[in-house]
Structures are given as C-alpha cells and as structure tokens.
Amino acid sequence: MQLGATIGVTALLAGAAINASTHAAIDRGALLLWLARKAKKTGYIEHCQALRRDDAPDNVHPLQKL
C-alpha cells in the first residue's frame, strides 16, 4: 500500500534513531524525573511509584537517585 510519499533511507534511519532515543530517555525516566524536580512538580512521583521486585537493580525511590 502506498500513501503517496516517498521517504529516503537516510530520512527513515534518522526518524528511527530519533524515535529510539526519545523512547529510551522516557522509559529510563531520569530525564522526566529531573524535569519534574526542576519544575517543582514531584507530588505525583512522590505519591505514585511502580512496584519493583526486591531483586531489581534499581529498587530505589526515583527521587533518591537524583
């Protein structure tokens, strides 16, 4: 199926790289935690936390890492 737009290989690879890097930054959470702390909007983070297994390597509250 063709949508009428041709995308070059370079543009496709650049888009994939941007997509991967932004998803990696968001999934790791450090950037968003840093932004929340700078904006003084940590109430939600302090209230809600994902449950982690005891043997998980990052079993520390997100704000304690910063």
DSSP 58: T
DSSP 33: H
pLDDT band at 62 (very low <50, low <70, confident <90, very high): low
Q: Where are the domains of the chain?
A: 9-65
With both helix axes pointing from N to C terminus, report the angle between 30-38 and 9-28 in degrees, rounded to the nearest 10: 60
Structure tokens at 57: 């390597």
Stated pTM of the model: 0.47
Location of structure tokens 């939600």:
44
Location of structure tokens 């888009």:
15
For residues 49 and 61, the answer to whether their CB atoms sit within 8 Å is: yes
Q: What is the pLDDT of residues 35-48, one digit of tens each?
A: 888 999 888 877 77
